[in-house]
A and B are shown apart, each in its own frame.
Chain A
Amino acid sequence: MNEVAQIVVLTLAAGTPLVFAALGELVVEKSGVLNLGVEGMMLVGAVASFIVAARTHSPWLGVSAGALAAAALSLVFAVLALSLRANQVATGLALSLFGVGLSAFVGRPYMSVVIEGMKPLAIPGVSDLPGVGKLVFAHSPLVYASIALFVLVHLFLYRTRAGLVLRAVGESPQSAHAIGYDVIGIRYAAVLFGGACAGLGGAFLAVAYTPSWVEGMTAGRGWIALALVVFATWKPWRVMVGAYLFGSVTLAQFQAQAAGVEVSSQWLAMLPYVATIVVLAIISRDATMIRLNAPASLGRPWHPAG
């Protein structure tokens, strides 16, 4: 039983950076904006959280700093792509490259710094209960936060008026404008939210998952998060499935490597990415489903005409 609990804890932890980043990007894309800068924002979030956590010895301050730094970076994207109507794909790619470079530069002095990472939840008595205690009450606080984020995003999108407006803006900005909504303002808010979420994902890696700073430590998770959103047909629960699938295969390949399986480690390292995409591609074959959930104006610049 304890081993099952261990596997669950590790799987959820491995999937959590993706949950943050992909849920944030999902909200951004639902507003009709395609921000390809997730990888860069995650890295900037990771490095900012690590530096602040190392300086202040407070993982929580570090996490907040990570979210803020990534949101600030997404603001750059918003100004370029929304106000100045730059091409969203090019701007997003540039943001990713910029984030990779910036985080490597800023993080150089911190490469070998050791910090005390965020502790998993430990409720005396409860977390030590055999089986259930570890299964339910012994994750990192950010894991619970990511699950709460899923519930909130789902409720926001499908149960609130504001979520309805956001989906409407992503579907047809001209119609939303015609019935009186501030399309650009709503998109700004979505992009900033997505940036903060990507930052949380990076911060989780740097201060909780493997408390350390390594150049490029997100290892392409930002790109997988982007793919997840698409293959999950913009549905939050499918994002969760994909993220935890990624987590479990990551775990399995570590186990396989540890057990000395006769396959080169590069192939094994590929597995989580391949498995996630293949499975999601198979469950999202339904064309009607895609048509109903894909934001129709995704990636198209829009500006109110004079």
Chain B
Amino acid sequence: MAPSPHDTSGAARLPRLSLRGITKHYPGVAANDHVDLDVYPGEIHAVLGENGAGKSTLMKVIDGLVIPDEGTMRWEGEPVDFASPAKAHKRGIAMVFQHFSLFETLTVADNIRVALDAAHARRLAARIRDVSARYAMPLDPARYVHTMSVGERQRVEIVRCLLQAPKLLILDEPTSVLTPAAIDALFAMLRTLAADGVSILYISHKLDEIRTLCDRATVLRDGRVTGQCDPRVETTASLARMMIGGDLPHPVHRAAHAGRAALVVDALDVPASDPFGIALRDVSLAVRTGEIVGIAGVSGNGQKELLAALSGERTVERSEAITLAGEPAGHLGPRARRVLGLAFIPEERLGRGAVPEMSLAENTLLTMRAPPLVVHGLVRASRVGSRTEQTIERFGVKARGPGDAAQSLSGGNLQKFIVGREIEREPLVLIAAQPTWGVDVGAAAQIRQTLLDLRERGVAVLVVSEDLDELLEISDRLAVIANGQLSPAKPIRETSAEEIGQLMAGTGTREPQQAAAALVP
């Protein structure tokens, strides 16, 4: 047995799950290299590591999605094979995925029903409402998943797992799109579950969360276990050092030198596009060169609609409603707006930010169709390759090369690549939606620093995020979106958490209590 430093009674207690020597090679990389892991009943166990450290692969091994090359697994003391997700679920393993495993054309209730045994599926709508209300994760069982934002989808995943009454609950980055109040509620719930004997494997990059929530942590770096510790007695800095093998970079925030307005939104009205959508009402905003404007708000309050209108995916009838670089742009599509100097980092990395099946080089080419990459309509493959190589190198993307398919990269690495690709276009205006969602601390700090550097270089940056800490850290001015209406952007120093909390609650917002409680201590 491997030593378990925290658990002194380890000899007496039987681990619920015990992994030994798990090794999984993918072409060119060892995703897991002889990983040992013990999880005891009633324990909240953190798995820490940077993007590409092998955390997700390890979780997929436990869940039966990936069969390792070597290694053994014991479940409640019995040796078991690495069969299939179906067998893992029978054992009582439930997983909340980082890239969701939801069905977009089905309703919330059907998405949950399809994952439950027939016996569990009775009186489902009522139980969904019950569980989602108890844990402050409001869900309407009749809604279609494709109309939901990322944050709302995550709630569906979590509620689905809870209704399976699991023995081992795996959560891959569960809090990245939850409000602070919802996170507190989630933690309270996880502690209750743990007290009832449920084992919890918790993957997160948020070191503070791990310190407040978890009993034990296993740290992975480059596929190997580099340490085990009790996160409650560690500091954020010491955890970070174990994880990245060095100190955390800290973003440098200098005073703003805001110039002329590069992106102006003037009394923008957009009707809801589907029955569950939010209509934007009288939205006005100006982003000047050399400043970062943040938009805070609880998921599902019009962020999706605003981003679609700004990126040009949804055009606006009154073209003066959106002015880009002095030109009316409301009627222009995404490509025409990019020509005017807009760069856009969407919330969904796969499918919107990048074509999953295409290589990184091809994804680069798709957003840069002008010379020097394309000359007289012909693609200059070597230039595309070296340009992609440059992005990979400059932004520290972990990939074998420009030929890697976008979907083969981990979430954070792909995000670094997309951010890099957009920035290399030298935009005038950059719009970023949830730029560090699901990205580890090191990469997140790097992305934030990149945004700050852009601001120094005179780019107008608009960041739409549900991570309030992030917005408070990098924004010069902050606006709040609630129920399709945007508050005036106020300089960070002239606002307070209380004020933002009240704005997030808004009048007629879907989740007044959560939003209000989110920021008022």
Chain A residues packing against B (C-beta within 8 Å):
161, 164-165, 167-168, 171-172, 174-182, 288, 291-294, 296, 304-306
Given contacts A288-B274, A306-B66, contact A178 B101 (CB under 8 A): yes
Chain A binding surface, main DSSP class = helix
Bound CA–CA A164/B87 (angstroms): 21
Bound-state CA distance A233–B87 (Å) is 35
Cα separation A167 to B97 with both chains bound (whole Å): 21
Whole-angstrom distance between the alpha carbons of A179 and B121 in the complex?
A: 15
Q: List 5 A-B contacts (CB under 8 A).
A: A167-B103, A171-B104, A177-B65, A180-B115, A306-B67
Which 4 pairs show the lowest CB-CB distances between chains A and B? A180-B86, A175-B101, A178-B101, A179-B115
Q: How far is the CA of A293 from the CA of B87 in the complex (A)?
A: 31
Expressed in whole angstroms, the minimum distance between the Cβ of B103 and any Cβ of chain A is 4
Q: Which residues of B contact A296 (CB under 8 A)?
A: 104-105
Interface size counted on chain B using CB atoms at 8 A: 28
Return the contact of B84 from the options A165, A176, A180, A291 (Cβ within 8 A). Answer: A180
Extra contacts, 13 of them, besides A178-B63, A180-B85 (Cβ < 8 A), are A161-B114, A168-B110, A172-B104, A175-B101, A175-B102, A176-B114, A180-B86, A180-B87, A181-B86, A182-B86, A292-B105, A292-B146, A304-B84
Minimum Cβ distance to chain B for residue A281 (Å):
21
Contact code string B107-150 (vs A, CB < 8 Å = 1, else 0): 00010011100100100000000000000000000001010000
B89 CB-CB contact with A under 8 Å? yes
CB distance from A49 to the nearest CB of B (A): 37
Given contacts A161-B118, A305-B66, contact A179 B101 (CB under 8 A): yes
Name the prevailing secondary structure of the B interface residues: loop
B103 engages A172 (CB within 8 Å): yes
> A164 touching B110 by the CB < 8 A rule?
yes
Task: Tell me if B88 is interfacial: C-beta within 8 Å of chain A.
Answer: yes
Residues of B within 8 A of A (CB): 63, 65-67, 84-89, 95, 97, 100-106, 110, 113-115, 118, 121, 144, 146, 274
Whole-angstrom distance between the alpha carbons of A101 and B269 in the complex? 61
Cβ B105 vs Cβ A180 within 8 A: no
Distance in Å: Cβ of B466 to nearest Cβ of chain A: 24
Contact of A178 among B85, B105, B118, B121 (CB under 8 A): B85
B135 to chain A, nearest CB (A): 21
A291-B105 in contact given A178-B85, A180-B85 (Cβ < 8 Å): yes
Complex Cα spacing A165 to B114, Å: 6
Q: Which residues of B contact A304 (CB under 8 A)?
A: 84
Q: Which residues of A contact B97 (CB under 8 A)?
A: 178
In the assembled complex, how far is the CB of residue A117 from the closest CB belonging to chain B, in whole angstroms?
42
Given contacts A175-B101, A178-B65, A179-B101, contact A161 B144 (CB under 8 A): no
| A177→B146 contact, CB < 8 A | no
| Min distance, Cβ A10 to any Cβ of chain B, angstroms | 38
A171 contacts across to B, CB distance below 8 A: 103-106
| Distance (whole angstroms) from the CB of A169 to the closest CB of chain B | 9
A226 and B103 CA atoms in complex are apart in Å by 25
- Name the A residues within 8 Å of B146 (CB-CB): 291-292
Nearest residue, chain B, Cβ from A288: B274
**Most chain A Cβ neighbours within 10 Å, of B63, B88, B95, B101:** B101
Q: Which of B67, B89, B110 contacts A179, CB < 8 Å? A: B89
Give complex CA distance A306, B84 in Å. Answer: 10
Residues of B within 8 A of A175 (CB): 100-103
Contacting pair A164 B101 (CB below 8 A): no
